[in-house]
Structure 1
Amino acid sequence: MNVALFVPCYIDQFFPDVAIATLELLEAQGLTVHFPPSQTCCGQPMANTGCSADAAPVAKQYVEMFSDYDAIVCPSGSCTSMIRNHYADYFEPDDEKYLHVRDSTFELCEFLVDQLGLQQIKGRFPHKVSIHASCHGLRELRLGPSSERPIPRVNRLRTLLESLDDVEIMPITRTDECCGFGGTFAVTERETSVAMGVDRVQDHIAAGSEVMIAGDMSCLMHMQGLISRRKMPLQVMHIAQVLAGRELAPSS
């Protein structure tokens, strides 16, 4: 399989270890992974703020750059959803390159479970953890069950996480509640965003979790800021880091 890695811009700039962990995880499955060095943003920030004219050339660059690969893997549900569900605004419906890239771009856990057929990752994470299910992954990619649609769905992240030795997944009260980040929503509606984020973090702390795990570093970035400024007893990690064998940071 000719696989490419797409790294979201905020991961590239702020959380490069998530990208490195994703690469290590894919290579551990015997894949040769390509990283087109001129890749940039998927265009989601511009599209979310209504700047469609600015998002269009970014989308077209993405499609042109990744059209020769069998699969494109991204450690972000929101960026994956942008490509799969919203690029139609920028292409003709019969554009073959666009259709191929749309159908070949996968979120990391989705790729591992649905495309490679993995149900287990060898490793150990001896901690009490809780799962934050990001909105794009649930509502647009359908990577797990959501409360508003009582349809049984496999949670790909949980499938892989619970296969690790010694991990204890703590049950939270509201399994699919939004963290309040929402990209530019966190800027334009700061107070609401903060209140939602603090509420989300407190649910995980009340469950007895040591570390909150998610598939979207954007959500974790938002909550990590709230946690650190309030000195709350919780850490955050991207699922790629956990599956790749990263250890939990020592408590400060």
Structure 2
Amino acid sequence: MDLSQRLKDKVAVVTGGASGIGLAAVKRMRDEGAVVVIGDLDEATGKTVADDLNVTFVQVDVSDQVAVNRLFDTAFEVHGGVDIAFNNAGISPPDDDLIESTGIDAWDRVQDVNLKSVFFCCKAALRHMVPAQKGSIINTASFVAVNGSATSQISYTASKGGVLAMSRELGIQYARQGIRVNALCPGPVNTPLLRELFAKDPERAARRLVHVPMGRFAEPEELAAAVAFLASDDSSFITGSSFLVDGGITGHYVTPL
């Protein structure tokens, strides 16, 4: 078996695929032979990325169920199936903060994009995977779904906890139908979203970095490698898992000197 082509001819749908972890995963899965469909809200960037990588782009607001259905239906109609769903789109706006200061509008917006969208995407993917009796769904949760933080983003944390619990339940529910569902739980990743957040608050960045045993944030390509593994048959006995790629954050007591 050519391990560089683990995903040959599989059809993968990636939300939030125009930047950050999503873009790195698109590149990695395409390099491993997958046919990739990018879904992203940013139409201009999405089209540019799709043209550069020779993949399909569908503009989508992941909080809109009709738009999500159109994304997955397009993948099925154009490419003949949906084998992999990397439900990755998410936001972390500055007005999602401590519970005392976070308003209901910020709470709802984060829940819509980070949690409800995963519900929509899983429903849409399963509609195509169940008849085929095969597939891999990877939902982006976070290490904050299993760890508490004193630098809170309360709605973000709650949404990722929901993604983790939903992924676990779906992984068990569909295990005997050949469909695996796992939650990817990244630690802090060097993406535009994180850089923008920490540029506004260097103290918060320093407080977080000190707790990473490896002494650095992850690179998107390191998460993409984990996504490709979970998408491939190399992870054929892994489902319902909390797949931590966090530089040791959730396992440490004190960090090395």
TM-score, normalised via structure 2 length: 0.34
Higher strand share: 2
TM-score (norm 1): 0.34
